Structure 1
C-alpha cells in the first residue's frame, strides 16, 4: 500500500484501535487455487505476540481453510470511516480554484502467518467471546445457552477456526493532512453535518494537533 508520510497512521495503538472498532476484515490469501478474498469478523488479541493475534472462524464448506498451509503469509484489510470530499468544501477553492475531488479514509493492513484451528474447543470459546463482545450493547443479550445444546453442537461442527499472528501493520489515515487547517475544519464540519461524525471528528483532531 502506498502511504505518503503525512498520511501515516499515528501509532500502532491507533491501528489496533481501528481493528477493534471495525472488526470485519477482508482476508486475502494466495492459496493453491490462486488469489482469494473472504469477508470475516475477527477478534483481536492484542496481548498475544508482539503485534497481536487475530482469531476468526469460517464455514467448513468454505474452501479458504483448505487452500492454505499453516505458516502461510496472508493479509487482512480493515477499513474504518470513509467519505468523498468535494473541493467546494474548502474555503481556499473560492480564492484560487486549485482544489480537486478526493476521498478520505482510514485503513489498516495486517500482514501475518495463518494457522488453521480445526478444534471444537477453540471455535466454541471464540464464538462465546465474539458473542459477548457484539451482544454487549443489546438490551437483551443473546447467549449460546439460549439455543438447544444439540443445535449449538451441530453449528460448532460446521465451522473451522483460523488464527493469524500479526507480523506487520501498515496504516493509512488519509484525513486531508496536506491541506490548510481552515480547509480541514470546513470539510470536517460538513461531514459532521451530513452524518459522517467519526470521519469529521478525526479530521477535526488533525487541526488541533497542528495548532499544538
Structure 2
C-alpha cells in the first residue's frame, strides 16, 4: 500500500483497533486459479502471535480455501471510514485557488499464511464466536445453539475454517495531515456538517494539527 510518511499508522494497538472495528474484510490470494478475493467477517485474537491472529471461514464450494491450504500468502484488507474531500472545505481555495479534490480514509492491510481446518468442534467454536460478536447489540441475541443440532452439523460440513497469524501489518490514516491547520479544520467542519453519516464518521478522526 502506497503510504507517505505523514499518513503512516504504525501503532499496533491502533492497527488492531481498526481491524476489530471493520465488520467485513476482503481476503485476497493468488494461486493456481489466479487472483481470488472473498468478503468475510473475521475475528482477531490480538494476543496470539506478535501481531495477532485472524480467524474466519469460507464456503467449501469456494475454492479460494485451497490457495490458503497450499500456502499462498494472503492479503487481508480492512477498509475503515472514508469520505470525499471537496476543495471547498479548504480556506486555501479562497486564498489562492490552488486546491484539488482528494479522498480521506482509514485502511489496514494484514499479510500472512493461513492454517486451514475442518474439525467440527473447532468450526463450531469459531462460528459461535462470530455470531455472538455480531448479535451482541440486539435485545434478544440469536445464538448458534438456537438452531437444531443436526442442522448446524450439516452447515459445518459445508465450510472450511482458517487461522491466519499476521506476519506483517500496514496501516494508513489519510486525514489531511499534510494540509495547514486551517485547511484541516475546514475538512473536519465540512465533513461534520454533511448529511452523509459516512462523512460524519470520518470527521471524528480528523486531527487538529498537521503532521
Q: TM-score, normalised by structure 1?
A: 0.93
Give the drift of 1:70.
4.9
Which 5+ residue runs of structure 1 have no aligned equivalent? Answer: none
Aligned to 1:201: 204
Shift of 1:33: 1.1
Deviation at 1:209, TM superposition (A): 7.9
Please list the CA deviations of residues 152-205 of structure 1 after superposition, one character each: whole Å capped at 9, or x if unmatched. 1111111110111100000111000000111111111221222322210100xx
Q: 1:184 to 1:10 in 2, by over 3 A?
A: farther
**Residue 55, structure 1, aligned to residue 55, structure 2:** yes
SS of corresponding position for 2:176? coil
Q: Distance in 2 between matches of 1:75 and 1:191?
A: 30
What is the Cα-based RMSD across aligned positions, in Å? 1.4
Deviation at 1:68, TM superposition (A): 3.4
* Cα separation, 2, equivalents of 1:5 and 1:46: 25
Q: Deviations over 1:119-158 (max 9, x none)?
A: 1111100011111111110111001121111111111111
Which residues of structure 2 form unaligned runs of 5+?
A: none
CA gap 1:111/1:168 in 2 versus in 1, 3 angstroms: same
Shift of 1:208: 5.5
1:1-212 correspondence runs (5 A): 1-194=1-194, 195=197, 196-203=199-206, 206-207=207-208
Normalized per residue, the structure richer in helix is 1
Task: Report if the CA contact (8 A) 1:70-1:115 is conserved.
Answer: no
Q: In 2, Cα distance between the equivalents of 1:28 and 1:68? A: 10
Count matched residues. 208
For 1:106, what is the secondary structure of its paired residue? Answer: strand
Counterparts of 2:209 and 2:178, CA distance in 1:
14
Partners of 1:111 and 1:136 in 2: how far apart?
29
